[in-house]
Amino acid sequence: MQGLREVVEERGLFCALYSDRGSHFFHTPQAGEAVDKSRLTQVGRAMRELGIQMIPAYSPQARGRSERNFGTWQNRLPQELRLAGIKTREGANEWLRECYIREFNQLFARTAAEKGTAFRRCLRKDLDVIFSVQTERAVAKDNTVTIRDRYWQLEKTRFRGSLAGCTVTVCEHLDGTVSIRWGPHTLGWFDAEGKLIAKTNKKRRGKGGSVEAGGNQKTVPTGSPTPLEISPTTRDFHFPTASATGCVPKTKPKTKAAHAA
């Protein structure tokens, strides 16, 4: 997610993503058979929202090429990082951008036969939402939303007395924050500790992280008999509760905060 977002922000939108059939890209009902394009993963859903076609690789040549690249990186990069004295993820990402990629391109890059680019500038202002792990939930009668062992208390809204029974989308963002949305409205935006973020003062960053229980969240004991009235339907069938992780960009993208209409 983070890698794809960086490409879209720095280079623009592209026509298609040609990848292997890893479970983060596609859902495959039976091993060795064709992928099910109707059951989108989180990556597949994000690409569809941007109008980018996803192409699964079936040929041995395509798979062999990617595996050779993986072998080079897995064998070479650990030694390069060791020689450079790098021991942190942040340091590794900085070294990859400033040193390794430049040297790699100097050795292997070739000038394109034609001038110009197929990338198109991305004008979307909601990349924070697109590149997030999204799950649909039904609001309970006490105006709360639950995921796993955590639930969020939604504030009153000016356009509806209670949201009980409404289906909302919970977005777990790459920086660890969580937003809850109903149609065009942002019902709440919470930081990694679960505290409500003031929409007018919120600053978004593209740093990977995880969401932990905190201020506005409560832990539900295991085996609690209290019905949570959670809709079993999720937007993503294959990755309903995946954690958001990714590399850390040296220059963090700045995007506008989402406001309720």
Q: Is the pLDDT of residue 5 over 70?
A: yes
Residues in Cβ contact with 195 at an 8 Å cutoff, skipping those fewer than 6 apart: 214, 215, 216
Burial of 212 (0-12, 13-18, 19+ CB in 10 A): exposed
The candidate with the shortest Cα–Cα distance to 169, out of 151, 154, 192, 186, is: 186
Tens digits of per-residue pLDDT, 198-231?
553 344 444 444 444 444 444 433 333 344 344 4
Max CA pair span of the chain: 66
Write the DSSP string, 176-205.
S-EEEEETTEEEEEE-TTSPBPPTTT----
For all residues of the chain together, what is the average pLDDT? 78
Q: How many whole angstroms from its chain centre is CA 42?
A: 7
Tens digits of per-residue pLDDT, 131-180?
999 999 999 998 888 887 787 888 888 888 889 999 999 999 999 899 99
pTM over 0.85: no
Is residue 178 within 8 Å of residue 211, measured between CB atoms?
A: yes
| d(C-alpha 13, C-alpha 249), whole Å | 19
Tens digits of per-residue pLDDT, 120-135?
999 999 999 999 999 9
- State residue 198's pLDDT score: 57
Residue with tokens 């809709």: 231
Q: Is the pLDDT of residue 35 over 70?
A: yes
pLDDT band at 69 (very low <50, low <70, confident <90, very high): confident
- State residue 256's pLDDT score: 45
Q: Is the pLDDT of residue 8 over 80?
A: yes
- State residue 218's pLDDT score: 44
Q: Which run of H or E residues covers position 137?
A: strand 132-138
- State residue 112's pLDDT score: 87
For residue 43, CA distances in Å to 23, 39, 80, 161, 182 come to 10, 11, 30, 35, 21
Burial of 218 (0-12, 13-18, 19+ CB in 10 A): middle
The helix/strand/coil state of 56 is strand
Torsions phi, psi of 122, nearest 5?
-90, 120
| d(C-alpha 56, C-alpha 78), whole Å | 29
Torsions phi, psi of 145, nearest 5?
-125, 135
Q: Is the pLDDT of residue 44 over 80?
A: yes
- State residue 121's pLDDT score: 94
Cα angle at 136 between 135 and 140, to 5 degrees? 125
Percent of the chain at pLDDT above 70? 75
Burial of 249 (0-12, 13-18, 19+ CB in 10 A): buried
Tens digits of per-residue pLDDT, 171-204?
999 998 999 999 888 898 888 777 788 553 344 4
Q: Is the pLDDT of residue 244 over 70?
A: no
- State residue 64's pLDDT score: 79
- State residue 51's pLDDT score: 95
